[in-house]
């Protein structure tokens, strides 16, 4: 299941608690007010019955009742009975057909036809006439009705309120979390483009998230400066080392022409020269990569026959391959033209070929292929050498990464593939590696046809 976003989680929690609090508050409110309504109805009934005594009088043995007694006030029905239970005067509500016993001064709740009634009786002694019962009746159900209408209304309003709260809550949370989204987007862009110059740039807000974004921007600033210093350092060091290495190489060359050298002196000098050449190669790779990092490494593009460039590089590498009895097979489509920087393109191919030879097996084969497929120029160098294990494969493009650290003497610095990758990408292409340990590797580059 897809993980819920923070926005949704906050909105749901917020809405749930809002609903819970509202329901509990309404529940308490309704139950209290229901009790209050009923108790005031009871008091009203008792009061009416007691006050109605004033409406009853007698004259010459006959009962005289004021017309107020008959009037319906506050939904309270008053009626008058003789002690034997005979109805004398007044009104009884429709639907109340029972004639319960008279209980002087006691308020009862009587249920009839699923309706509830409050009944209150009071014995009254009318002069000249004798005792009578005054009965007051009022409907409990009717008293509760108004209250039930409010309850029903609340049941309709509540879900609407919940939906409204959820919508407002969601929009509010989204607005509040917008800076977090911007921070994430900035980090993603930095990762994708490796561009530390990006900033979240939220401006001057007052809340914690604005502070977080500003702190994050300050951190990026420091990181950018630190990386900048590191790049500058690498670039300066490589630059400074170029001259002494060139001097060493020139001196070696000059010394090697001396015919008086003993064979052991010559061997030692040749070793120095080889090592100096390795160093010179490493320095030139470092310089290229540091310039590339600083965005200072430019390509000089020319439309060239890259089929010929690949054939030429393959021929050059054939000499080296012979030492290991490796055969280079060329399956190169002729006359493929592309806008390339000649020097860099050859460096890229040379690196792939020299790796294939270095890590190829004695007496093995290398296949160099170049063709146009769909909208791409596809080039590949395949060998049947030692191969690369699955866990190592993602790291081979990293600087100074070497799977086999024992080959330090052969000019392997671990910079070759980083440089190769940069060159292919600077030409707008991509490069990938497929490999199986013990079986061989294939490096494939794609260049888009414009
Ligand atoms: P290096 O100078 O060490 O060859 P690279 O950057 O060219 O550096 O290559 C990085 C690592 O990738 C090498 O050390 C090696 O382990 C591995 N590698 C590169 N090409 C091949 C290949 N054709 N076969 C097997 N391993 C290879």
Q: Is the CB of 282 under 6 A from ligand 1?
A: no
What is the number of H-type helices and E-type strands within the chain?
A: 7, 14
Give whole-number Cα distances, 17 to 23, 58, 167, in Å: 10, 66, 15
How would DSSP label each residue in 415-429?
-HHHHHHHHHHHTT-
Coil, helix or strand at residue 341: coil
Q: In what order do the strands lie in the sheet with 327-332?
A: 327-332, 365-373, 376-383, 440-448, 430-436
Which residues fall within 8 angstroms of residue 177, CB to CB, at 6 or more apart? 6, 7, 209
Residue-level pLDDT at 265: 94
Across-strand partners of 329? 367
Q: Which residue has the tokens 């906050």?
A: 10
Q: Is the CB of 46 under 6 A from ligand 1?
A: no
How far is it, in rounded angstroms, from Cα 52 to Cα 287?
112
Residue-level pLDDT at 313: 96
The alpha carbon of 412 and the centre of ligand 1 are apart by a number of angstroms equal to 8
Report the nearest-CA residue for atom 21 of ligand 1.
355
Strand pairing report for 327-332 and 365-373: parallel
Residue-level pLDDT at 410: 60
Q: Is the CB of 421 under 6 A from ligand 1?
A: no
Q: Is the CB of 305 under 6 A from ligand 1?
A: no
Which residues fall within 8 angstroms of residue 449, CB to CB, at 6 or more apart? 372, 375, 376, 377
Which contacts of 341-344 are long-range, i.e. CB under 8 A and separated by 24 or more positions?
341/299, 341/300, 341/301, 341/302, 341/423, 341/426, 341/427, 342/300, 342/302, 342/304, 342/309, 344/299, 344/423, 344/426
How far is it, in rounded angstroms, from Cα 40 to Cα 45?
9
Greatest C-alpha distance within the chain: 169
Give whole-number Cα distances, 308 to 314, 371, 446, in Å: 10, 12, 17
| 21-32 CB burial, b ≥16 within 10 A, e <16 | ebeeebeeeeee
User: What are the start-end ranges of the H helices in 53-88?
Assistant: none
Q: Is the CB of 417 under 6 A from ligand 1?
A: yes
CB of 198 within 8 A of CB of 189?
yes
CB of 370 within 8 A of CB of 306?
yes
Reduced DSSP (H G I as helix, E B as strand, rest coil) percent helix, strand, coil of the chain, to 5: 55, 20, 25
Q: Is the CB of 386 under 6 A from ligand 1?
A: yes
Give the chain's residues under pLDDT 50: 1
Q: In what order do the strands lie in the sheet with 87-90?
A: 87-90, 76-82, 130-139, 115-126, 107-112
Please choose from 351, 396, 442 the residue to mutate so as to test ligand 1's pocket, defined by most ligand atoms within 8 A of CB: 396
Give whole-number Cα distances, 395 to 14, 40, 293, 403, in Å: 46, 84, 19, 9
Coil, helix or strand at residue 436: strand
How far is it, in rounded angstroms, from Cα 324 to Cα 357?
8
Q: Is the CB of 370 under 6 A from ligand 1?
A: no
Tokens read off for 388: 């690369």
pTM of the entire structure?
Answer: 0.61
Which residues fall within 8 angstroms of residue 386, CB to CB, at 6 or more apart? 359, 360, 361, 404, 437, 438
Q: Which residue has the tokens 């000649």?
A: 342
Give whole-number Cα distances, 314 to 27, 345, 377, 414, 421, in Å: 87, 13, 18, 22, 19
How far is it, in rounded angstroms, from Cα 236 to Cα 202?
36
Give whole-number Cα distances, 160 to 7, 22, 88, 166, in Å: 21, 13, 54, 10
Please choose from 328, 388, 418 the residue to mutate so as to test ligand 1's pocket, defined by most ligand atoms within 8 A of CB: 388
Give the number of the atom of ligand 1 that is nearest the alpha carbon of residue 419. Answer: 6
Q: Is the CB of 388 under 6 A from ligand 1?
A: yes
Q: Is the CB of 179 under 6 A from ligand 1?
A: no
The alpha carbon of 396 and the centre of ligand 1 are apart by a number of angstroms equal to 7
Residue-level pLDDT at 1: 46
Q: Is the CB of 355 under 6 A from ligand 1?
A: yes
């Amino acid at each position: 299941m897809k993980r819920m976003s923070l926005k949704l989680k906050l909105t749901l929690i917020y809405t749930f608690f809002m609903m819970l609090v509202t329901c509990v508050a309404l529940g308490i409110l309704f139950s209290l007010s229901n009790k209050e309504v009923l108790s005031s109805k009871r008091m009203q009934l008792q009061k009416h019955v007691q006050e109605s005594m004033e409406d009853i009088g007698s004259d010459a043995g006959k009962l005289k009742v004021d017309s107020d007694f008959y009037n319906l006030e506050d939904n309270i029905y008053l009626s008058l009975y003789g002690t034997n239970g005979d109805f004398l005067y007044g009104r009884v509500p429709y639907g109340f057909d029972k004639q319960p016993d008279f209980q002087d001064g006691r308020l009862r709740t009587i249920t009839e036809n699923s309706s509830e009634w409050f009944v209150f009786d009071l014995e009254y002694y009318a002069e000249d006439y004798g005792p009578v019962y005054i009965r007051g009746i009022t409907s409990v159900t009717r008293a509760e009705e108004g209250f039930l209408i409010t309850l029903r209304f609340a049941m309709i309003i509540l879900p609407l309120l919940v939906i409204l709260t959820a919508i407002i809550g969601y929009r509010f949370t989204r607005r509040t979390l917008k800076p977090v989204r911007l921070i994430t987007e900035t980090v993603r862009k930095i990762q994708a483009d490796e561009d530390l110059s990006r900033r979240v740039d939220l401006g001057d807000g007052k809340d914690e998230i604005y502070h977080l974004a500003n702190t994050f921007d300050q951190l990026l600033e420091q990181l950018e400066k630190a990386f900048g210093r590191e790049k500058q350092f690498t670039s300066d060091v490589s630059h400074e080392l170029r001259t002494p290495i060139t001097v060493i190489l020139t001196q070696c060359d000059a010394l090697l022409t001396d015919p008086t050298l003993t064979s052991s002196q010559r061997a030692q000098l040749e070793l120095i020269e080889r090592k100096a050449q390795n160093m010179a190669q490493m320095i030139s790779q470092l310089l290229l990569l540091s310039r590339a990092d600083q965005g200072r490494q430019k390509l000089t593009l020319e439309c060239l026959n890259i089929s010929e460039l690949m054939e030429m590089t393959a021929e050059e590498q054939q000499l080296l391959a012979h030492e290991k009895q490796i055969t280079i097979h060329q399956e190169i489509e002729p006359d493929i033209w592309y806008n390339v920087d000649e020097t860099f393109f050859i460096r890229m191919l040379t690196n792939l070929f020299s790796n294939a030879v270095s890590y190829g097996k004695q007496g093995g084969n290398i296949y160099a292929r170049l063709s146009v497929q769909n909208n791409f120029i596809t080039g590949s160098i395949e060998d049947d050498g030692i191969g690369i294990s699955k866990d190592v494969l993602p790291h081979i493009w990293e600087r100074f990464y070497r799977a086999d650290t024992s080959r330090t003497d052969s000019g392997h610095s671990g910079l070759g593939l980083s440089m190769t990758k940069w060159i292919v990408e600077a030409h707008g292409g991509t490069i990938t590696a497929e490999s199986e340990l013990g079986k061989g590797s294939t490096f494939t580059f794609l260049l888009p046809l414009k």
